[in-house]
Structure 1
Amino acid sequence: MPQRLRAVLAASALVSCVVLQDANALPRALHAESAEVGALFGDDGHFCTASVVHSPGRNLIVTAGHCLAEGDAVSFAPGYRDGDAPYGHWKVDRVFADAAWTDGEDEDHDLAFATVRPREGRAVEDVTGANTLATDGRTGREVTLTGYPSAEEAPRTCTATPTAFHHTQQRIACPDFSSGTSGSPWVDGDGRITGVLGGHHGGGDSPDVSYSVLLDERAAALYREATRPR
């Protein structure tokens, strides 16, 4: 299951009780359903997964907290497959994480947002589209996970229904979501991100059962911080 990647450590989570944006008002991916989801790359290849989440600046991605460290040379390749990055590589700029994660690696805060720099005068959301962030703290609705195992060059997907795990975490049974799939979005039928693979034991002890922090007011607060005008 996804491991804590100490070479690229730092980030965390907070979570809200409302859907922050109206999915019907957002642009969808022009070329592929998975354009919003991509692999995070470091010096040694791709190591985690992230996805574009709608924001006023149209430049925001979300992933697991243990996937990002501010200052590291990390880029995001949406729609990556078989060595091809059809939408380009987007340089991670700023990372937003809760101190409970960055200072204490509290697995209940294993969530991070990051802005990415524009390319050729365009923001990433204008190129790929975006999903919305749901922060009502609910689980039990069918979702699709998309993630990039480090040992593979194409995304793996799974559709299943998560269940509650403690009052701050949720889990889902999806086969072969191994190391590298940390940060995979859990997207419901309305295009809302209701979970992000991570949390309990860095996402789980088995590649067949994955975890996420429960997205509630803590995630909403972190989102507001990430989207606050600078």
Structure 2
Amino acid sequence: MVVDVHQSELTDEQIRAIWTPERMKEALRNPEKAPAARPDRGRTTKSVSPPHDLTASAPARGFAASANLSQRKAAAGMSVSQEAPAGPGNAIVGKLYFFTPEGEPNHCSAASIVSANKNTIWTAGHCVHRGDGSGDAGWNKHFLYVPGYSRGAEPHGEWTAARLFAPSAWTQDGDAREADVAAIVLNPRLDGNLEDVVGFALGYLFTENRTDYAGAAVMGYPGEGYQRTDLDGERLMYCAGDTTDAFPVNPFDDRIKIDCDMGGGASGGPFVWGPQNDPRIVGASSHVAVDDAHQRLTDDLFSSEHGSHAAALINTANGA
């Protein structure tokens, strides 16, 4: 199982200089689109190479009952996204700015994840690479991460990317079933690492063939949504409910689904599940279902299966 690694082309100082307020506003007007769900094509095997049963898990750090994470705010399912309530725990999600290979400012969502370096965020593969087999030419660039962003406020400042990680099953094959995932190791700052400054990091549970998580939430910064015109990428939004197997009739397709109207810009935002003191990433916003005219069909929001590819990815990032 191969994980591709890409080094940032610019230094921390150079990346910060590029991201002027004007470029950030331009990025807000260009939220990264969630790719359309690809047809099944009768697939009967998984793309994972041995070992196909690789798993990885780690508890969250820094959370307590007072952290006020959004997933605990709704006991029942909530498919219409709402603004996340104020609370220190929500600073584990942030806005991820970047430039496309063609130089267009864009943005996704990402979340702080427990890591050996305390400086890693989790997002979707399509937020870091085109997934079209274009190799080095397909990587997005000049990443800037703003944890806890809200209407222009940056309570924990800005962080730049040092290295990007994505499964080759995404970068080469665009496999949204199992591999639309990515990790980014950030540059440390003089005041410490991301986890130390923010005070929180989500744990993770990456295992094969598990799709159902009761009482989960998905969070992100959508600039658009299903039957919504009021989303602008300026606010952290969330949906709450149970995740399910997106395609139960196909035992080789274990994508995760949650009912949520968030669209472009929310890509890469975490699917979070677990108790108040141990919330864990179990997925990331990946794609939606569209018709032939590329119009979204439902409020279903899909994540790639977070199994062997996700486990290999976090293990690689931890060793970097």
Length-normalised TM-score, structure 1: 0.84
Q: Is the aligned partner of 1:132 residue 2:203?
A: yes
SS of the aligned residue for 2:90 comes to: coil
Q: Is the aligned partner of 1:188 residue 2:273?
A: yes
What's the counterpart of residue 44 of structure 2?
none
Which one of 79, 90, 97 corresponds to residue 34 of structure 1?
90
Q: Deviations over 1:158-209 (max 9, x none)?
A: 111111023231111013x02100011011133011110105669x945721
Cα displacement (A) at 1:122: 0.6
> Using the alignment, how far apart are the partners of 2:189 and 2:297 within structure 1?
37
Which runs of no fewer than 5 residues in structure 2 stay unpaired?
1-30, 36-46, 68-86, 130-138, 224-231, 248-252
Which runs of no fewer than 5 residues in structure 1 stay unpaired?
6-12
> Using the alignment, how far apart are the partners of 1:103 and 1:46 within structure 2?
22
Which one of 156, 159, 166 corresponds to residue 87 of structure 1?
156
Which one of 185, 200, 219 corresponds to residue 115 of structure 1?
185
> Using the alignment, how far apart are the partners of 2:266 and 2:237 within structure 1?
9
Note closer, same or farther for the CA distance 1:207–1:38 as it changes in structure 2 (3 Å cut). farther
> Using the alignment, how far apart are the partners of 2:163 and 2:289 within structure 1?
25
SS of the aligned residue for 1:84 comes to: coil
Q: Deviations over 1:86-120 (max 9, x none)?
A: 11111011111111211222212110011011122
Q: Is the aligned partner of 1:55 residue 2:115?
A: yes
Note closer, same or farther for the CA distance 1:16–1:45 as it changes in structure 2 (3 Å cut). farther
What's the counterpart of residue 20 of structure 1?
57
What's the counterpart of residue 218 of structure 2?
145
Q: Assess if the C-alpha contact under 8 Å between 1:135 and 1:217 holds in 2.
A: yes
> Using the alignment, how far apart are the partners of 2:296 and 2:183 within structure 1?
24
What's the counterpart of residue 10 of structure 1?
none
Length-normalised TM-score, structure 2: 0.62
What's the counterpart of residue 8 of structure 1?
none
SS of the aligned residue for 2:188 comes to: coil
Q: Is the aligned partner of 1:173 residue 2:241?
A: no
| Structure number with bigger Rg | 2
SS of the aligned residue for 1:119 comes to: coil
> Using the alignment, how far apart are the partners of 1:97 and 1:58 within structure 2?
19
SS of the aligned residue for 1:162 comes to: strand
> Using the alignment, how far apart are the partners of 1:96 and 1:207 within structure 2?
31
Which one of 219, 238, 246 corresponds to residue 157 of structure 1?
238
> Using the alignment, how far apart are the partners of 1:152 and 1:207 within structure 2?
20
> Using the alignment, how far apart are the partners of 1:207 and 1:72 within structure 2?
32
Taking the TM superposition and a 5 Å limit, the aligned residue runs for 1:208-227 are: 208-227=299-318
Identical residues among aligned pairs (%): 29
